[in-house]
């Protein structure tokens, strides 16, 4: 009996594995034409400045609406794009779309809104990136200082010398640079100090327990002290409750982002999303 059950389980895993492989191959194939078919779009999540208590910027987060599979997460398809050269095509689409949409939004609502866009580790290795960023900015009319590029800690540490060189180049064009998902990689303070960064985003895993755990609070306090000592602005990711927001404000965190303040939403819904975030930034 055990044998039959064992065989059934093998067959079950076999089916699951085959379905996963099938999905992978399908998505990988369809991703090639997703940009041209207009299936990619950016969701925007508000970022609140905790000194002015107002929304100061938005982060553009990539979404793929697949005709059969529905919304596919960037965590699933970005790695696929990185496996091929597609990441460059998608990456430049993200950049030009983000700066264009936010430039239009600023003009329409007469608002000094900043935009953050995420870079892949592969884009950091592309010598044409700084010019592509410059071209996107010129095409949109967005001032360079209103754009901030986010690079994950692990992407920066993948090849620190190449990254340092690229960041210097990008800085020359006047864009700001942020280290994303801080705390999940293994960078040393010495390595970080070499990089021309403007801000540091504390990964949401550190924010999660901040309202209930003294250890968590102590950890975030020390990350913030370190960042401020080297003149980096601090942004907390994954703020889901008013209690977390209150702690962050008490600790002197500069900016906050998370579901409590606002979820990533289509640009058409951004005015309402920003209004709610502005309200929640004041009322705790």
Locate 155 and state its tokens.
């992407």
DSSP string of the chain?
-HHHHHHHHHHHHHHHHHHHHHHHHHHHHHHHHHTTTT-EEEEEEEEEETTTTEEEEEEEEEEEEETTTEEE-HHHHHHHHHHSTHHHHHHHHHHHHHHHHHHHHHHHHT---EEEEE--HHHHT-TTHHHHHHHHHHHHT--GGGEEEEEEHHHHHHSHHHHHHHHHHHHHTT-EEEEEEETSS---HHHHHTS--SEEEEPHHHHTTTTT-HHHHHHHHHHHHHHHHTT-EEEE----SHHHHHHHHHHT--EE-STTT---EEGGGHHHHHHHHHHHHH--
- Contact segment (CB under 6 A) with ligand C2E among 17-25, 104-112, 190-198, 232-240 equals 232-240
Residues 89-148 that bind ligand C2E (CB under 6 A): 94, 118-120
Interface map 98-127 toward Mg ion (x if CB under 5 A) = --------------------x---------
Of the pair 30, 120, the CB lying nearest Mg ion is at 120
Decide: is 181 part of the binding site for Mg ion (CB under 5 A).
Answer: yes
Whole-number Å distance between alpha carbons of 123 and 93: 12
Residues 5-44 that bind ligand C2E (CB under 6 A): none
- Contact segment (CB under 6 A) with ligand C2E among 171-179, 184-192, 220-228, 234-242 equals 234-242
Tally of CB atoms within 10 A around 184: 15
Decide: is 75 part of the binding site for ligand C2E (CB under 6 A).
Answer: yes
CA 241 to chain centre: 20
Locate 265 and state its tokens.
């939403």
Residues 251-270 that bind ligand C2E (CB under 6 A): 258-259, 264
Decide: is 238 part of the binding site for ligand C2E (CB under 6 A).
Answer: yes
Residue 122 binds which of Mg ion, ligand C2E, none (CB < 5-8 A, kind-dependent)? none
Decide: is 62 part of the binding site for ligand C2E (CB under 6 A).
Answer: yes
Residue 56 binds which of Mg ion, ligand C2E, none (CB < 5-8 A, kind-dependent)? none
Residue nearest to ligand C2E (CB): 258
Out of 30, 126, 153, 180, name the contact with Mg ion by CB under 5 A.
180
Of the pair 30, 237, the CB lying nearest Mg ion is at 237
Out of 180, 217, 235, 267, name the contact with ligand C2E by CB under 6 A.
180
Residues 38-57 that bind Mg ion (CB under 5 A): none
Interaction site with Mg ion (CB under 5 A): 118, 150, 180-181, 237
Applying CB under 6 A, the residues found at the interface with ligand C2E are 45, 61-62, 73-75, 78, 94, 118-120, 150, 152, 180-181, 204, 237-240, 258-259, 264
């Amino acid at each position: 009996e055990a044998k039959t059950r064992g065989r059934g389980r093998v067959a079950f895993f076999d089916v699951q594995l085959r379905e996963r492989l099938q999905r992978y191959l399908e998505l990988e194939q369809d991703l090639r034409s997703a940009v041209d078919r207009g299936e990619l779009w950016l969701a925007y999540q508000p970022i609140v400045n905790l000194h002015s208590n107002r929304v100061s910027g938005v982060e553009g987060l990539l979404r793929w609406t697949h005709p059969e599979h529905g919304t596919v997460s960037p965590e699933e398809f970005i790695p696929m794009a990185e496996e091929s050269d597609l990441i460059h095509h998608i990456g430049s689409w993200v950049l030009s779309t983000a700066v264009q949409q936010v430039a239009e939004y600023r003009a329409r609502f007469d608002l000094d809104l900043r935009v953050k866009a995420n870079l892949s580790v592969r884009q950091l290795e592309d010598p044409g990136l700084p010019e592509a960023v410059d071209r996107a900015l010129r095409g949109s009319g967005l001032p360079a200082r209103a754009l901030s590029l986010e690079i994950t800690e692990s992407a920066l540490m993948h090849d620190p010398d190449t990254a340092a060189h690229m960041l210097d180049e990008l800085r020359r064009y006047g864009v700001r640079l942020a280290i994303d998902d801080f705390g999940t990689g293994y960078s040393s303070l010495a390595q970080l100090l070499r990089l021309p960064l403007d801000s540091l985003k504390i990964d949401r895993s550190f924010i999660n327990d901040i309202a209930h755990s003294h250890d968590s609070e102590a950890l975030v306090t020390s990350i913030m002290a370190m960042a401020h000592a080297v003149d980096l602005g601090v942004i907390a990711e994954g703020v889901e409750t008013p209690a977390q927001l209150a702690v962050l404000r008490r600790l002197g965190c500069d900016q906050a982002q998370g579901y409590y303040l606002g979820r990533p939403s289509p640009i058409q819904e951004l005015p309402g999303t920003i209004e709610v975030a502005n309200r929640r930034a004041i009322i705790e």
